[in-house]
A and B are shown apart, each in its own frame.
Chain A
Protein backbone atom coordinates (compact mmCIF):
# COMPACT_ATOMS: atom_id res chain seq x y z
CA UNK A 1 0.00 0.00 0.00
CA UNK A 2 2.60 2.66 0.92
CA UNK A 3 4.71 1.60 -2.05
CA UNK A 4 1.85 2.15 -4.49
CA UNK A 5 1.18 5.50 -2.85
CA UNK A 6 4.75 6.59 -3.46
CA UNK A 7 4.55 5.21 -6.99
CA UNK A 8 1.45 7.24 -7.80
CA UNK A 9 3.05 10.34 -6.29
CA UNK A 10 6.07 9.85 -8.52
CA UNK A 11 3.86 9.26 -11.56
CA UNK A 12 1.99 12.51 -10.88
CA UNK A 13 5.24 14.39 -10.44
CA UNK A 14 6.67 13.03 -13.66
CA UNK A 15 3.50 13.74 -15.62
CA UNK A 16 3.33 17.30 -14.21
CA UNK A 17 6.88 18.13 -15.29
CA UNK A 18 6.36 16.39 -18.63
CA UNK A 19 3.29 18.55 -19.26
CA UNK A 20 5.23 21.67 -18.28
CA UNK A 21 8.03 20.77 -20.66
CA UNK A 22 5.61 19.95 -23.48
CA UNK A 23 3.85 23.27 -22.94
CA UNK A 24 7.13 25.18 -23.17
CA UNK A 25 8.23 23.27 -26.27
CA UNK A 26 4.85 23.86 -27.93
CA UNK A 27 5.17 27.60 -27.26
CA UNK A 28 8.76 27.73 -28.54
CA UNK A 29 7.97 25.77 -31.70
CA UNK A 30 4.96 27.90 -32.51
CA UNK A 31 6.57 31.28 -31.81
CA UNK A 32 10.24 30.91 -32.70
CA UNK A 33 11.06 30.76 -36.37
CA UNK A 34 10.88 32.73 -39.57
CA UNK A 35 7.56 34.62 -39.63
CA UNK A 36 5.42 34.17 -42.71
CA UNK A 37 3.41 37.41 -42.63
CA UNK A 38 1.78 37.06 -46.02
CA UNK A 39 0.22 33.70 -45.21
CA UNK A 40 -0.43 34.06 -41.48
CA UNK A 41 -1.62 37.66 -41.27
CA UNK A 42 -5.18 36.92 -42.57
CA UNK A 43 -5.51 34.13 -39.97
CA UNK A 44 -4.26 36.54 -37.32
CA UNK A 45 -6.93 39.09 -38.26
CA UNK A 46 -9.59 36.39 -38.24
CA UNK A 47 -8.52 35.31 -34.73
CA UNK A 48 -8.39 38.93 -33.59
CA UNK A 49 -12.05 39.07 -34.54
CA UNK A 50 -12.91 35.87 -32.67
CA UNK A 51 -10.99 36.62 -29.48
CA UNK A 52 -10.95 40.41 -29.42
CA UNK A 53 -13.93 41.91 -31.16
CA UNK A 54 -16.39 39.33 -29.90
CA UNK A 55 -15.24 39.89 -26.29
CA UNK A 56 -15.78 43.65 -26.42
CA UNK A 57 -19.43 43.50 -25.35
CA UNK A 58 -18.94 41.41 -22.19
CA UNK A 59 -15.85 43.46 -21.22
CA UNK A 60 -17.62 46.82 -21.61
CA UNK A 61 -20.81 45.77 -19.83
CA UNK A 62 -18.97 44.22 -16.88
CA UNK A 63 -16.58 47.18 -16.70
CA UNK A 64 -19.49 49.57 -16.52
CA UNK A 65 -21.25 47.67 -13.76
CA UNK A 66 -18.09 47.09 -11.72
CA UNK A 67 -17.29 50.80 -11.90
CA UNK A 68 -20.84 51.72 -10.89
CA UNK A 69 -20.82 49.31 -7.93
CA UNK A 70 -17.44 50.64 -6.78
CA UNK A 71 -18.79 54.18 -7.01
CA UNK A 72 -21.89 53.33 -5.01
CA UNK A 73 -20.15 51.32 -2.28
CA UNK A 74 -17.25 53.77 -2.06
CA UNK A 75 -19.63 56.70 -1.75
CA UNK A 76 -21.61 55.04 1.05
CA UNK A 77 -18.47 54.57 3.14
CA UNK A 78 -16.67 57.79 2.25
CA UNK A 79 -19.70 59.99 2.90
CA UNK A 80 -19.57 59.03 6.58
CA UNK A 81 -16.18 60.73 6.83
CA UNK A 82 -17.17 63.63 4.58
CA UNK A 83 -14.49 62.39 2.20
CA UNK A 84 -16.59 61.98 -0.97
CA UNK A 85 -13.84 63.88 -2.78
CA UNK A 86 -11.72 60.73 -2.55
CA UNK A 87 -14.19 58.71 -4.61
CA UNK A 88 -12.35 59.52 -7.86
CA UNK A 89 -8.97 58.24 -6.63
CA UNK A 90 -10.66 55.21 -5.02
CA UNK A 91 -12.47 54.12 -8.17
CA UNK A 92 -9.72 54.91 -10.65
CA UNK A 93 -6.82 53.47 -8.67
CA UNK A 94 -8.58 50.24 -7.78
CA UNK A 95 -9.69 49.75 -11.38
CA UNK A 96 -6.39 50.71 -13.02
CA UNK A 97 -4.18 48.76 -10.64
CA UNK A 98 -6.16 45.61 -9.85
CA UNK A 99 -9.70 45.19 -11.09
CA UNK A 100 -9.08 46.19 -14.69
CA UNK A 101 -6.26 43.74 -15.49
CA UNK A 102 -7.58 40.91 -13.28
CA UNK A 103 -11.29 40.95 -14.08
CA UNK A 104 -10.64 41.49 -17.77
CA UNK A 105 -8.26 38.50 -17.75
CA UNK A 106 -10.79 36.31 -15.91
CA UNK A 107 -13.56 37.27 -18.33
CA UNK A 108 -11.21 36.75 -21.24
CA UNK A 109 -10.29 33.28 -19.96
CA UNK A 110 -13.97 32.38 -19.74
CA UNK A 111 -15.04 33.99 -23.00
CA UNK A 112 -12.09 33.47 -25.35
CA UNK A 113 -9.77 30.98 -23.63
CA UNK A 114 -12.36 28.24 -23.32
CA UNK A 115 -13.36 28.75 -26.95
CA UNK A 116 -9.74 28.40 -28.06
CA UNK A 117 -9.33 25.17 -26.12
CA UNK A 118 -12.56 23.67 -27.43
CA UNK A 119 -11.74 24.64 -31.01
CA UNK A 120 -8.24 23.18 -30.98
CA UNK A 121 -9.40 20.14 -29.02
CA UNK A 122 -12.03 19.40 -31.63
CA UNK A 123 -9.47 19.93 -34.39
CA UNK A 124 -7.34 17.32 -32.69
CA UNK A 125 -10.26 14.91 -32.10
CA UNK A 126 -11.29 15.10 -35.76
CA UNK A 127 -7.64 14.67 -36.79
CA UNK A 128 -7.47 18.00 -38.59
CA UNK A 129 -4.11 18.69 -36.94
CA UNK A 130 -2.74 15.37 -38.20
CA UNK A 131 -4.10 16.10 -41.68
CA UNK A 132 -2.23 19.42 -41.68
CA UNK A 133 0.96 17.57 -40.82
CA UNK A 134 0.23 15.09 -43.63
CA UNK A 135 0.17 18.08 -46.01
CA UNK A 136 3.52 19.24 -44.61
CA UNK A 137 1.91 22.23 -42.89
CA UNK A 138 3.16 22.74 -39.34
CA UNK A 139 -0.02 22.96 -37.20
CA UNK A 140 1.91 24.81 -34.52
CA UNK A 141 2.78 27.63 -36.92
CA UNK A 142 -0.48 27.55 -38.86
CA UNK A 143 -3.02 27.03 -36.01
CA UNK A 144 -1.44 27.80 -32.65
CA UNK A 145 0.78 30.80 -33.38
CA UNK A 146 -1.85 33.18 -34.90
CA UNK A 147 -4.28 32.36 -32.08
CA UNK A 148 -1.62 33.08 -29.49
CA UNK A 149 -0.66 36.45 -30.97
CA UNK A 150 -4.31 37.46 -31.43
CA UNK A 151 -5.07 36.79 -27.77
CA UNK A 152 -1.82 38.44 -26.71
CA UNK A 153 -2.79 41.64 -28.55
CA UNK A 154 -6.50 41.57 -27.63
CA UNK A 155 -6.38 41.34 -23.85
CA UNK A 156 -4.35 44.54 -23.17
CA UNK A 157 -6.63 46.47 -25.52
CA UNK A 158 -9.70 45.00 -23.82
CA UNK A 159 -8.19 45.97 -20.46
CA UNK A 160 -7.83 49.60 -21.60
CA UNK A 161 -11.50 49.60 -22.58
CA UNK A 162 -12.53 47.93 -19.32
CA UNK A 163 -10.63 50.48 -17.21
CA UNK A 164 -11.95 53.46 -19.12
CA UNK A 165 -15.57 52.31 -19.03
CA UNK A 166 -15.24 51.35 -15.35
CA UNK A 167 -13.92 54.76 -14.32
CA UNK A 168 -16.67 56.48 -16.28
CA UNK A 169 -19.20 54.15 -14.61
CA UNK A 170 -17.91 55.23 -11.20
CA UNK A 171 -18.05 58.85 -12.31
CA UNK A 172 -21.62 58.39 -13.52
CA UNK A 173 -22.79 57.09 -10.14
CA UNK A 174 -20.73 59.47 -8.03
CA UNK A 175 -21.08 62.68 -10.01
CA UNK A 176 -24.30 62.41 -11.97
CA UNK A 177 -26.46 60.52 -9.47
CA UNK A 178 -25.03 61.20 -6.01
CA UNK A 179 -23.96 64.76 -6.66
CA UNK A 180 -20.19 64.90 -6.08
CA UNK A 181 -18.73 67.91 -7.85
CA UNK A 182 -17.34 66.90 -11.25
CA UNK A 183 -14.26 69.10 -10.90
CA UNK A 184 -13.44 67.57 -7.51
CA UNK A 185 -13.78 64.08 -8.97
CA UNK A 186 -11.39 64.66 -11.88
CA UNK A 187 -8.88 66.83 -9.97
CA UNK A 188 -8.62 64.21 -7.23
CA UNK A 189 -8.27 61.47 -9.83
CA UNK A 190 -5.60 63.27 -11.82
CA UNK A 191 -3.65 64.12 -8.66
CA UNK A 192 -3.72 60.52 -7.48
CA UNK A 193 -3.15 58.61 -10.73
CA UNK A 194 0.43 58.49 -11.98
CA UNK A 195 0.84 57.52 -15.63
CA UNK A 196 3.85 55.24 -15.14
CA UNK A 197 3.03 54.03 -11.65
CA UNK A 198 -0.58 53.10 -12.30
CA UNK A 199 -1.52 52.92 -15.97
CA UNK A 200 1.70 51.47 -17.38
CA UNK A 201 2.14 48.97 -14.55
CA UNK A 202 -1.49 47.90 -14.87
CA UNK A 203 -0.77 47.25 -18.53
CA UNK A 204 2.34 45.25 -17.68
CA UNK A 205 0.11 43.02 -15.60
CA UNK A 206 -2.38 42.74 -18.40
CA UNK A 207 0.27 41.73 -20.93
CA UNK A 208 1.52 38.99 -18.62
CA UNK A 209 -2.05 37.77 -18.01
CA UNK A 210 -2.66 37.66 -21.76
CA UNK A 211 0.44 35.49 -22.13
CA UNK A 212 -0.70 33.14 -19.34
CA UNK A 213 -4.31 32.79 -20.51
CA UNK A 214 -3.40 32.18 -24.16
CA UNK A 215 -0.66 29.72 -23.31
CA UNK A 216 -2.84 27.70 -20.92
CA UNK A 217 -5.80 27.69 -23.32
CA UNK A 218 -3.77 26.64 -26.36
CA UNK A 219 -1.79 23.99 -24.53
CA UNK A 220 -4.88 22.44 -22.96
CA UNK A 221 -6.50 22.25 -26.37
CA UNK A 222 -3.38 20.92 -28.05
CA UNK A 223 -2.72 18.21 -25.46
CA UNK A 224 -6.29 17.10 -24.68
CA UNK A 225 -7.52 13.54 -25.03
CA UNK A 226 -9.18 13.41 -28.46
CA UNK A 227 -12.57 12.37 -27.08
CA UNK A 228 -15.73 14.24 -26.11
CA UNK A 229 -14.94 13.81 -22.43
CA UNK A 230 -11.33 14.87 -23.02
CA UNK A 231 -12.38 18.12 -24.71
CA UNK A 232 -14.82 18.96 -21.95
CA UNK A 233 -12.13 18.24 -19.35
CA UNK A 234 -9.59 20.40 -21.20
CA UNK A 235 -12.04 23.31 -21.46
CA UNK A 236 -12.73 23.19 -17.74
CA UNK A 237 -9.00 22.96 -17.01
CA UNK A 238 -8.35 26.04 -19.12
CA UNK A 239 -10.76 28.21 -17.17
CA UNK A 240 -9.71 26.86 -13.75
CA UNK A 241 -5.95 26.91 -14.33
CA UNK A 242 -5.78 30.26 -16.06
CA UNK A 243 -7.99 31.91 -13.41
CA UNK A 244 -5.85 30.56 -10.59
CA UNK A 245 -2.62 31.51 -12.36
CA UNK A 246 -3.90 35.02 -13.08
CA UNK A 247 -4.87 35.58 -9.44
CA UNK A 248 -1.60 34.10 -8.16
CA UNK A 249 0.60 36.12 -10.51
CA UNK A 250 -1.45 39.21 -9.71
CA UNK A 251 -0.33 38.94 -6.10
CA UNK A 252 3.30 38.41 -7.10
CA UNK A 253 3.26 41.36 -9.51
CA UNK A 254 1.51 43.62 -7.02
CA UNK A 255 4.09 42.74 -4.38
CA UNK A 256 6.89 43.50 -6.86
CA UNK A 257 5.44 46.72 -8.25
CA UNK A 258 3.57 48.55 -5.53
CA UNK A 259 5.49 47.76 -2.35
Chain B
Protein backbone atom coordinates (compact mmCIF):
# COMPACT_ATOMS: atom_id res chain seq x y z
CA UNK B 1 0.00 0.00 0.00
CA UNK B 2 1.25 3.41 -0.90
CA UNK B 3 1.80 5.78 2.01
CA UNK B 4 -0.56 8.73 1.74
CA UNK B 5 0.58 11.70 3.80
CA UNK B 6 -2.74 13.54 3.55
CA UNK B 7 -4.88 10.62 4.69
CA UNK B 8 -2.38 9.79 7.43
CA UNK B 9 -2.49 13.30 8.93
CA UNK B 10 -6.28 13.44 8.70
CA UNK B 11 -6.43 10.11 10.52
CA UNK B 12 -4.09 11.44 13.21
CA UNK B 13 -6.25 14.56 13.50
CA UNK B 14 -9.44 12.57 14.05
CA UNK B 15 -7.73 10.27 16.55
CA UNK B 16 -6.27 13.24 18.45
CA UNK B 17 -9.67 14.94 18.64
CA UNK B 18 -11.38 11.84 19.98
CA UNK B 19 -8.50 11.16 22.39
CA UNK B 20 -8.83 14.73 23.71
CA UNK B 21 -12.54 14.15 24.30
CA UNK B 22 -11.86 10.91 26.19
CA UNK B 23 -9.12 12.48 28.32
CA UNK B 24 -11.42 15.42 29.14
CA UNK B 25 -14.17 13.02 30.23
CA UNK B 26 -11.87 10.81 32.33
CA UNK B 27 -9.39 13.27 33.80
CA UNK B 28 -11.33 16.53 34.06
CA UNK B 29 -14.91 15.36 34.61
CA UNK B 30 -13.73 12.35 36.63
CA UNK B 31 -15.90 9.81 34.85
CA UNK B 32 -14.77 6.26 35.48
CA UNK B 33 -15.09 3.36 33.10
CA UNK B 34 -15.98 0.78 35.75
CA UNK B 35 -19.35 2.24 36.71
CA UNK B 36 -18.16 2.07 40.28
CA UNK B 37 -20.57 -0.39 41.87
CA UNK B 38 -17.88 -3.02 42.36
CA UNK B 39 -15.33 -0.76 44.02
CA UNK B 40 -17.62 1.09 46.41
CA UNK B 41 -20.07 0.26 49.13
CA UNK B 42 -23.08 2.40 49.95
CA UNK B 43 -24.04 3.77 53.35
CA UNK B 44 -27.09 5.92 54.03
CA UNK B 45 -26.79 8.72 56.59
CA UNK B 46 -29.72 10.47 58.25
CA UNK B 47 -28.84 14.12 58.79
CA UNK B 48 -30.89 16.98 60.17
CA UNK B 49 -29.22 19.65 58.03
CA UNK B 50 -26.67 19.12 55.30
CA UNK B 51 -25.79 22.78 54.68
CA UNK B 52 -24.51 23.20 51.15
CA UNK B 53 -23.34 19.63 50.68
CA UNK B 54 -23.75 18.60 47.04
CA UNK B 55 -23.85 15.41 45.02
CA UNK B 56 -20.22 14.39 44.31
CA UNK B 57 -18.92 16.24 47.36
CA UNK B 58 -15.92 14.34 48.74
CA UNK B 59 -16.00 12.13 51.83
CA UNK B 60 -12.75 12.47 53.76
CA UNK B 61 -11.16 10.35 56.46
CA UNK B 62 -8.42 12.33 58.17
CA UNK B 63 -8.23 14.61 55.14
CA UNK B 64 -7.87 11.75 52.65
CA UNK B 65 -10.68 11.37 50.11
CA UNK B 66 -12.21 7.90 50.54
CA UNK B 67 -15.51 8.34 48.72
CA UNK B 68 -18.14 10.72 47.51
CA UNK B 69 -21.76 11.71 48.01
CA UNK B 70 -23.83 9.78 45.47
CA UNK B 71 -27.29 11.23 46.12
CA UNK B 72 -29.16 13.50 48.47
CA UNK B 73 -32.90 13.21 49.08
CA UNK B 74 -35.51 13.92 51.72
CA UNK B 75 -37.08 11.04 53.59
CA UNK B 76 -40.80 11.69 53.01
CA UNK B 77 -41.74 10.28 56.42
CA UNK B 78 -39.24 12.00 58.72
CA UNK B 79 -38.75 15.05 56.43
CA UNK B 80 -35.02 14.88 57.03
CA UNK B 81 -32.26 14.68 54.43
CA UNK B 82 -30.83 11.26 53.65
CA UNK B 83 -27.36 11.27 52.11
CA UNK B 84 -26.28 8.30 50.03
CA UNK B 85 -22.54 7.86 50.52
CA UNK B 86 -20.26 5.78 48.31
CA UNK B 87 -17.14 4.71 50.17
CA UNK B 88 -14.16 2.95 48.67
CA UNK B 89 -14.18 -0.78 49.45
CA UNK B 90 -10.57 -0.58 50.63
CA UNK B 91 -11.85 1.13 53.78
CA UNK B 92 -14.45 -1.46 54.73
CA UNK B 93 -13.48 -1.64 58.40
CA UNK B 94 -15.21 1.49 59.60
CA UNK B 95 -16.87 0.77 62.93
CA UNK B 96 -20.66 0.90 62.93
CA UNK B 97 -20.57 3.81 65.41
CA UNK B 98 -18.46 5.93 63.05
CA UNK B 99 -19.62 9.55 62.96
CA UNK B 100 -20.19 11.41 59.70
CA UNK B 101 -20.12 15.20 59.97
CA UNK B 102 -20.62 17.98 57.44
CA UNK B 103 -17.46 20.10 57.52
CA UNK B 104 -16.15 23.06 55.55
CA UNK B 105 -12.71 23.15 53.97
CA UNK B 106 -11.18 26.48 54.89
CA UNK B 107 -13.21 29.54 55.75
CA UNK B 108 -15.16 29.88 52.51
CA UNK B 109 -14.39 26.56 50.91
CA UNK B 110 -16.62 23.73 49.77
CA UNK B 111 -18.42 21.50 52.22
CA UNK B 112 -17.47 17.86 52.56
CA UNK B 113 -18.30 14.89 54.75
CA UNK B 114 -15.70 14.12 57.38
CA UNK B 115 -15.49 10.63 58.91
CA UNK B 116 -14.55 10.21 62.56
CA UNK B 117 -13.88 6.49 62.96
CA UNK B 118 -14.95 4.65 66.07
CA UNK B 119 -12.64 1.77 66.89
CA UNK B 120 -14.65 0.27 69.74
CA UNK B 121 -17.85 -0.57 67.85
CA UNK B 122 -19.22 -3.91 69.08
CA UNK B 123 -22.32 -5.82 68.19
CA UNK B 124 -24.43 -7.60 70.86
CA UNK B 125 -22.06 -10.58 71.05
CA UNK B 126 -19.02 -8.40 71.64
CA UNK B 127 -17.54 -8.87 68.18
CA UNK B 128 -16.31 -5.81 66.31
CA UNK B 129 -19.01 -4.60 63.92
CA UNK B 130 -18.41 -2.65 60.75
CA UNK B 131 -20.53 -0.56 58.40
CA UNK B 132 -21.74 -2.79 55.57
CA UNK B 133 -23.14 -2.14 52.14
CA UNK B 134 -26.67 -0.71 52.45
CA UNK B 135 -26.40 0.21 56.14
CA UNK B 136 -28.15 3.28 57.49
CA UNK B 137 -26.40 5.32 60.16
CA UNK B 138 -27.78 7.91 62.56
CA UNK B 139 -24.37 8.93 63.89
CA UNK B 140 -24.20 12.20 62.01
CA UNK B 141 -23.34 15.80 62.77
CA UNK B 142 -25.09 18.48 60.79
CA UNK B 143 -23.62 21.48 59.06
CA UNK B 144 -23.09 24.61 61.07
CA UNK B 145 -25.39 27.30 59.69
CA UNK B 146 -24.02 30.78 60.26
CA UNK B 147 -27.43 32.36 60.91
CA UNK B 148 -28.34 29.79 63.56
CA UNK B 149 -24.97 30.28 65.22
CA UNK B 150 -25.41 34.07 65.24
CA UNK B 151 -28.98 33.69 66.50
CA UNK B 152 -27.83 31.54 69.42
CA UNK B 153 -25.04 33.98 70.18
CA UNK B 154 -27.38 36.99 70.19
CA UNK B 155 -29.91 35.07 72.28
CA UNK B 156 -27.26 34.17 74.85
CA UNK B 157 -26.09 37.79 74.92
CA UNK B 158 -29.57 39.15 75.58
CA UNK B 159 -30.46 36.48 78.14
CA UNK B 160 -27.15 37.16 79.93
CA UNK B 161 -28.10 40.86 80.13
CA UNK B 162 -31.56 39.99 81.51
CA UNK B 163 -30.15 37.87 84.34
CA UNK B 164 -27.65 40.57 85.24
CA UNK B 165 -30.39 43.13 85.83
Interface residues of A (CB under 8 A from B): 45-46, 48-49, 52-53, 56, 81-83, 85-86, 92, 96, 154, 156-158, 160-161, 163-164, 167, 186-191, 193-195, 198-199, 203
**Do A83 and B9 touch across chains, with their CB atoms under 8 A apart?**
no
Interface of A is mostly: helix
With A157-B18, A193-B28, A193-B30 given, name 5 new contacts (CB 8 A). A52-B13, A157-B14, A160-B20, A188-B110, A195-B29
* Complex interface: chain B residues within 8 A of A157 (CB): 13-14, 16-18, 20-21
Judge whether A186 and B27 touch: CB under 8 Å: yes
| Chain A residues closer than 8 Å to B56, beta-carbon distance | 191
What separation, in Å, do the CA atoms of A187 and B65 have in the docked complex?
Answer: 9
Contacting pair A194 B24 (CB below 8 A): no
Contact of B24 among A86, A160, A187, A188 (CB under 8 A): A160
- Asked if A48 and B13 sit within 8 Å, CB to CB, the answer is yes
Give complex CA distance A139, B29 in Å: 44
Say yes or no: B17 contacts A82, CB within 8 Å. Answer: no
Separation in Å of the A82 CB from the closest CB of chain B?
A: 6
A186 to B7, CA, bound (A): 36
Q: Cα distance A191–B112 when bound, in Å?
A: 11
Residues of A within 8 A of B14 (CB): 48, 157
- In the complex, the answer to whether B9 meets A190 with C-beta atoms within 8 Å is no
* CB pair B10 A48 closer than 8 Å: yes
Measured CA separation A193–B25 after assembly (Å): 9
A82 contacts B28, C-beta separation under 8 Å: no
Q: Does residue B107 face the partner (Cβ distance < 8 Å to A)?
A: yes
List 20 A-B pairs, Cβ < 8 Å.
A45-B7, A46-B6, A48-B14, A49-B6, A81-B108, A82-B107, A85-B105, A86-B109, A157-B13, A160-B17, A160-B20, A163-B20, A163-B24, A164-B24, A167-B24, A190-B28, A190-B30, A195-B29, A195-B31, A199-B24
B10 / chain A contacts, CB cutoff of 8 Å: 45, 48-49, 52-53
- In the bound assembly, the distance between CA atoms of A188 and B29 in angstroms comes to 10
Point out the residues of chain B lying under 8 angstroms from A49, CB to CB.
6, 9-10, 13
- Identify the 9 closest CB pairs spanning chains A and B, nearest first: A157-B17, A190-B30, A160-B20, A195-B29, A164-B20, A160-B21, A53-B13, A193-B29, A161-B20
* Residues of B with C-beta under 8 A to A188: 110
What is the CB-to-nearest-CB distance from B43 to chain A, in angstroms, rounded to a whole number? 19
A167 touches B7 (CB 8 A): no
- Does B57 reach chain A (CB closer than 8 Å)? yes
Query: In the complex, which residues of chain A have a beta carbon less than 8 angstroms from the beta carbon of B106?
Result: 82-83, 85
Residues in chain B within 8 A of chain A (CB atoms): 6-7, 9-10, 12-14, 16-18, 20-21, 23-25, 27-31, 56-58, 65, 105-110
State A132–B9 Cα separation when bound (angstroms): 29
Interface pair A92/B28, CB less than 8 Å apart: yes
A167 touches B20 (CB 8 A): no
Contacts of A156 in B (CB 8 A): 17
Contact partner of B17 (CB less than 8 A), chosen from A46, A161, A189, is A161
* Residue of A with least CB distance to B16: A161
Distance between B45 CB and nearest chain A CB, rounded to angstroms: 19
Q: How far is the CA of A187 from the CA of B71 in the complex (A)?
A: 18
For A49, A82, A85, A92, which residue has the most chain B Cβ atoms within 10 angstroms?
A49
Q: Which A residues touch B27, using CB under 8 A?
A: 186
Contact (Cβ within 8 A) A199 B29: yes
